[in-house]
Structure 1
Amino acid sequence: MPPADAEPYRTSLGTSSPDAIRLLGHDLTEELMGSVSFADLAFWLVALRRPTAGESRLFNAVLVALTDHGFTPIVLAARLTLLGAPEAVQGAMAAGLLGGGSRFLGTTEDTAAFLADGLAREAGRADLDALAADLVRERKAAHRTVPGLGHPLHKDGDPRTSVIHRIAEEEGVAGPHLALLAAVGRVHPAILGRTLPVNGAGVCGAALADLGIPPGLVRGVALVARSAGILGHLAEEMRDPIGRRVYDSVDRNAEYVAPDPG
């Protein structure tokens, strides 16, 4: 028995008894299984409320948008880890997820935080273009990139961006973060002297912020999405492997450079 004065360890998520499992206040088997989608449940677990139909559509669209982007370093790390430890798929999954940092997937979080900070600082400011211009000028003066702008491949526009905006508008769930990011897209060319696309990761971060996901959890949502992509790549690696060829190519082309003496 715990001490009488021990504080309870509270959770509002899941609990189990010998004959039942409860999740979010509902009977898992009788009320949730077969009745709620995995994406809706993921939203519910974070927000502690079930999404509306419009929120569900936008949240699902964001997850789909972030699922896979080809042979990224995240995917290569997962595939090469599977090559080294084929008996431990969890290690390959983890290796891929650990690569979701500031250059890959982290843009979702960075953009959400950038927009949330700007909106909080200028609460009630009606002219979003003027606010966006101030934020872009500040980033330029600090020699920092503007989160949500630019893409190494989609130079003329990220195809995901317009779709996220369209779905948010159709469902009536477009909010101030998406609006401010669109303003950033409009005003930045005159300030930066070049035109950069609003990227898919950034618009997904804005959409998640509009759905009420705290910026500090936005990258976690991106990782949930990318987990499915990584799993797909691992399945493909088992069917049609490239890991050994990648390793062999690097090994054959490795050049040893002796360090400077001393």
Structure 2
Amino acid sequence: MADELRFPTGLGTSDADSISLLGQDLAADLMGRVGFGELAFWLVAGRRPSAGEVRLFEAVLVALADHGFTPTAIAARLTYLSAPDSLQGALAAGLLGGGSRFLGVTEDCGRFLATVLASAEGDDVDAIALDAVTTAKAEKRFVPGLGHPVHKVEDPRTPVLIRIATEEGIYGPHLRLFEAIGRVHPQVLNRKLPLNGAGVCGAALADLGLPVEMLRGFALLARAAGLLGQIAEERRRPIANDIYLTVDRNAVYEA
């Protein structure tokens, strides 16, 4: 019966003498020849990216890797303080915090842009953007990718990613619409908000043709590296216990 079972995969298989990945010999064709970012793209997209696509994709990963003492970093450090024998637990704790306020914006923005483009009429991108922002406000929904808790004027990552996409000829409809939203939203919201880095990452990844349903995964992939760095620094220069004691010693009971 076991000989009749088949579980098709286009990813990895192995036997006693070799490992195959993406139809390539892992040891002979990939190791030392393919970078990790290129491989991650290839695994999800099912196609090998061009050099320009790799450059933009890896710029996105760098942009999302770490942003200081965010809740995800603090969660990882505190978990490591509590369970230093569980590195995987500390990493997981940080990754589990990737949601609508941190990291998840990458997917939320890509999905929002893709949805708007799918139903858009005409080619006036500013008009399309204006209608999208107006509709979102009427429905009392946030426009993903607008605003940042720290970068109130401009997120320094945004213009760099747009420039790289332009240089590599990958500046597509999602980035174009995202920039248009940046131009027109003050007409609707009566205030100017920056286009944040997580949002532009979502737009760039969507322009790379990656599935919008998978974009949060790339944000988590990037942040895993940042969290590992946070934990490594916690070992060298611990602060998690100070965070814990600051909160604990200043807790006040209120009925």
TM-score range, shorter chain: over 0.9
Question: How much does 1:9 deviate?
Answer: 1.9
Question: How much does 1:16 deviate?
Answer: 0.6
Q: Which runs of 5 or more residues in structure 2 are unaligned? A: none
Question: How much does 1:3 deviate?
Answer: 7.8
- Please tell me whether residue 144 in structure 1 is matched to residue 135 in structure 2: no
Superposed CA offset, 1:80-113 (max 9, x none): 0000110110000000000001110011011000
Task: Give me the whole-angstrom Cα distance separating, in 2, the residues matched to 1:105 and 1:119.
Answer: 23
Task: Give me the whole-angstrom Cα distance separating, in 2, the residues matched to 1:190 and 1:122.
Answer: 20
Question: How much does 1:2 deviate?
Answer: 2.8
1:171 alignment counterpart: 168
- Please tell me whether residue 21 in structure 1 is matched to residue 31 in structure 2: no
Q: Which runs of 5 or more residues in structure 1 are unaligned? A: none
Question: How much does 1:257 deviate?
Answer: 2.2
Give the 5 Å matches for 1:72-83: 72-83=70-81
The one of 228, 231, 243 equivalent to 1:231 is: 228
Task: Give me the whole-angstrom Cα distance separating, in 2, the residues matched to 1:221 and 1:106.
Answer: 10
Task: Give me the whole-angstrom Cα distance separating, in 2, the residues matched to 1:59 and 1:141.
Answer: 34
The letter for the 2-side match of 1:142 is E
2:89 alignment counterpart: 91
Task: Give me the whole-angstrom Cα distance separating, in 1, the residues matched to 2:38 and 2:147.
Answer: 30
Alignment: residue pair count: 255
Task: Give me the whole-angstrom Cα distance separating, in 2, the residues matched to 1:88 and 1:236.
Answer: 16
The letter for the 1-side match of 2:112 is F
Task: Give me the whole-angstrom Cα distance separating, in 2, the residues matched to 1:217 and 1:45.
Answer: 12
Structure 1 stretches of 4+ with a deviation exceeding 4 A read: none
Task: Give me the whole-angstrom Cα distance separating, in 1, the residues matched to 2:98 and 2:241.
Answer: 23
Task: Give me the whole-angstrom Cα distance separating, in 2, the residues matched to 1:230 and 1:137.
Answer: 37
The DSSP-based 3-state class of the residue aligned with 1:42 is helix
1:67 alignment counterpart: 65
Superposed CA offset, 1:224-261 (max 9, x none): 00000000000000111001111111110111223xxx
The letter for the 1-side match of 2:127 is A
The letter for the 1-side match of 2:174 is H
The letter for the 2-side match of 1:130 is A
The one of 174, 186, 190 equivalent to 1:189 is: 186
Superposed CA offset, 1:67-89 (max 9, x none): 10000000010000000110110
| TM-score, scaled relative to structure 1 | 0.95
| TM-score, scaled relative to structure 2 | 0.98
Give the aligned CA root-mean-square deviation in angstroms.
1.0
